[in-house]
Chain A
Amino acid sequence: MQSTKENTRIGFYVCHCGHNIAAMVDCADVAKYVKGLPNVVLSRDYKYMCSDPGQELIQKDIREYNLNRVVVASCSPLLHEHTFRSATAAGGLNPYYFHMVNIREHDSWVHTDRGEATAKAKALAHAAIDRVAFHKALETKTVKINPDALVVGGGIAGIHAAMTLANAGKKVYLVEREPSIGGHMAKFDKTFPTLDCAACILTPKMSEVGAHPNITLWSYSEVAQVDGYVGNYKVRVKRKPRYISEERCIGCMDCISQCVFKEPKFEDEFNEGLGKRKPVYIPFPQATPQIVVIDPNVCLNFKRAKGPDGTPIVSDKCKKTCVEACGDKNAIDFTQKEEIKEIEVGTIIVATGFKTFDSKRIPGYGYGIYKNVYTALEIERLVNASGPTGGEVILREGKNPDGSPKHPKSIGIIHCVGSRDKKTNIWCSRVCCMYSMKLAHLLKEHTDAEVYNFYIDIRAPGKGYEEFYNKLLDEGVHFIRGRVGEVTDWAMTPEEEGKLVIRVEDTLAGYVRRIPVDMVVLSSGLEPQADAQDVRRLFNMSCGTEGFFLERHPKLAPVNTFTDGIFIAGACQGPRDIPDTVAQAGAAAAEALVLIDKGYVEQEPNTAFILDEECSGCKSCVPLCPYSAILYDETRKKAHINEALCKGCGTCVGACPSGSIVQNLFEDEQIFSEIQGVLAYD
């Protein structure tokens, strides 16, 4: 051991942090107080300790004064512990001889009395001085990183992240829940603000993913289990049966045309139920992979009753014209079962996206009550040239006198549906103002109708976005500032007969208005996926209060999670548009590449270990560890902690009845001396 308590030589530094600390804490007074404490060789106050001169000061002092312990009282360790540990190491000491005191977040920022804040800083500094004497030299361990990566979710975020990693030469598994990748973007006709065709920019990327030698694409699959730790994750992927051999299907779609169902009859998920599909189908023409799926819920070759565990049972009752059509390719396989694949990866990017708010939750807007009330996603399909109507905007209800389908002559688009509302979702969904304007433009273009946007605020804060708003104003789209009160079908005037009536306060004109329209579009907000909590648990992440995955730091670590080696990208982290999603996906891929290319990670040595002789083998600790880091050796009847998995949470340490678990940097004498130190100041 380098030093014992007797020859401890501590250097203490208190930082002003400009005015952040100095305005509320008398730093010079703190330095003076600490100077008088035992083992303190030197005590200084300094304007910015984290600056280069500040760090150099520490190094110089270590050499000149032969210091063997360093304490800095400044900001949060989250921010600069690493900085000062490095400075300590650069001065020639083991970095764990350093200890940090937070007198900013815990003191100057939260108190209003300078005298008391100064006293608190002194007490905290005293505690650190007493504690640091017991610090030991520790070694950081390194763990190797498996270079393969897993991307979960094949929306634009997952696609972009997977492509980036694959192009950098890494092997990537891309797991997508639906039969095709593409996510929400695949449903769009055009994208704001440039109005470029979504398919034209997305589908080439999708086929690249499908063809990339470094990418293993598993669609219609979900992650079932994740074990391990940064660099060494073991993942089990559940591959749902699509009753088609992926190896043999060539995507000719002969089976679809030859299915015993001559006409598509079943609700088509991809088209938001506006179109129909057959039991054997491909979600959309450019789907990737180009492999069909059979829906056992409606295919005649399956029994309607499921097996006890919910698995479909083959009835063999159908003529199976699909199989005939498939012929030699022999790709249809009714015996297919769910399959579990096990893979090992070093890093994981979660890009599971969002779902839209269920507009039925606001009954006053009439979705599900009045047929001509639509969700924005339905309109995306309706204006889409490859959508169920070939891009013709026709009303669900009402026909022209000659029996032909009716086109809307007036359309109301209601913003903020489910968003900015304490009763539903308090957040702003960020993309709906823009997509509402996009849809307003497209609807006007397709129908020449009068289009009204009802908004609370127009949020168009992106490159070219305000210009897009201006373009719409020029095009004659109407904007009425007011959150719609209700949509009803009862008329007060002749021109309201047979229409949907939007009642709203035009807050700028100061009038309550009733506006009759043929079609209402609800700009539903963005929400976490329904299974976000399950996915969060699976990958050991956190969710914010609203349920989106939580980033490690909103500014400085936006794609990291609290679990090393697991990153997030896209709308699963919060509502965002495609440009931001792609930027974030690139960032997540880059963060993963940092780990992969370095090849190893250093692990904080603040892990727990078990004193083998003292362990009584009671197993109390084993189930408590949230990271499953504790193993139990049945033959020796002893517990053992896997250092690579231990996160240093300390749960087991407190729980061990025989006191045989010790945690580095949190040893008993360190903690007790710290407590004594705080109490010593009065």
Chain B
Amino acid sequence: MEMTRTIKYEADRVKGFGEEVMSVPGCEELKDCIQCGTCSGVCPLSIYMDFTPRQVMEMTRFDFKNEVLGSKTIWLCASCYACTVECPRQIKITDIMYELKQRAIKEKVYPRGLPTPVLAQEFTKMVHDYGRVNEILLATKMYMKTNPFAAMGMAPLGLGMIKTGRFSMIQEKIRGRADLARMLETVDEGK
């Protein structure tokens, strides 16, 4: 039987990670978390998460960076803001989830095989290149990258879309593509 060690030594912490996240504007309140679990209690997706939102808050505060950034939890968050409006300490949990997602993408440590981060990146590429998103093309791209077989399962839905006139393979583009791209590039330059 395979055994996993669950004790955490100080060396398992990436010291400073919690402080770093909590110094991002909007994430400061995390310091006030009382671990009450309201966020998990209202989160519609907590039932599928590997760590509940509450646990992610505590793990972040205590520098368990690898565990947090590698978790499925942050990619299960659907940004519904239920936690944010209910938290008794007014912690912007949804925004902290966003912050963690950004870090996971930047450091490329998100769990492999999870389509959500792939979709997010494909989405941004499409916005950058064309200024608009075609949901059908986007979904197709995502499935090709993650699970081509699942795409097959979507065929009936695609058919339905065609029948109801909601299917379009034409990529819309804005006129100011170059401007938008230029604007987005200034963000990287500013970093």
Q: Tell me the A residues contacting B by CB distance below 8 Å.
A: 364, 416, 420-423, 456, 481-486, 503-507, 510, 512
Contact = CB atoms under 8 A, between A and B. Distances in A.
B34 to A, nearest CB: 6
Interface in B79-133: 86, 88-90
Interface stretch (B18-26, B38-46, B65-73): B38-46
Given A364-B86, A505-B37, A510 B42 contact: no
Interface string B38-70: 111111001100001011000000000000000
B42 A456 contact: no
A507 B89 contact: no
A504 B88 contact: no
Give the interface size class of chain B. Answer: 10 to 19
A504 B90 contact: no
Contact of B37 (A364, A420, A482, A486): A482
Given A505-B52, A510-B52, A485 B38 contact: yes
Nearest to A482: B37
| A-B interface, 6 closest residue pairs, ranked by CB to CB distance from nearest | A485-B41, A505-B37, A505-B40, A421-B88, A485-B42, A483-B36
B90 A503 contact: no
B88 A420 contact: yes
B171 interface: no
Given A423-B88, A481-B37, 5 more contacts: A422-B90, A485-B86, A505-B37, A505-B39, A505-B41
B37 A483 contact: yes
Contacts of A482: 36-38, 40-41
A483 B88 contact: yes
Contacts of A364: 42, 86
Contacts of B90: 422-423
B47 A456 contact: no
Contact of B46 (A421, A456, A505): A505
B34 A420 contact: yes
B147 interface: no
Contacts of B34: 420, 456
Interface string B4-15: 000000000000
B140 interface: no
Given A364-B86, A483-B88, A485-B86, A512 B38 contact: no
Contacts of B38: 482-485, 505
Contacts of A510: 52, 55
B168 interface: no
A424 to B, nearest CB: 8
A422 B47 CA distance: 26
A459 to B, nearest CB: 13
Contacts of A503: 41-42
Contacts of B47: 512
Contacts of A504: 37, 41
A506 B42 CA distance: 12
A626 to B, nearest CB: 36
24 contacts: A364-B86, A416-B88, A420-B88, A422-B90, A423-B90, A456-B34, A481-B37, A482-B36, A482-B37, A482-B40, A483-B36, A483-B41, A483-B88, A484-B38, A485-B41, A485-B86, A503-B41, A504-B37, A505-B40, A507-B54, A510-B55, A512-B40, A512-B47, A512-B52
Contacts of A512: 40-41, 43, 46-47, 52
Nearest to B53: A505
Nearest to B89: A422
Nearest to B41: A485
Contacts of B52: 505, 510, 512
Contacts of A505: 37-41, 46, 52, 54
B35 A507 contact: yes
A595 B15 CA distance: 60
Nearest to A502: B41
Nearest to A486: B42
A121 B23 CA distance: 37
B16 to A, nearest CB: 25
Nearest to A426: B88
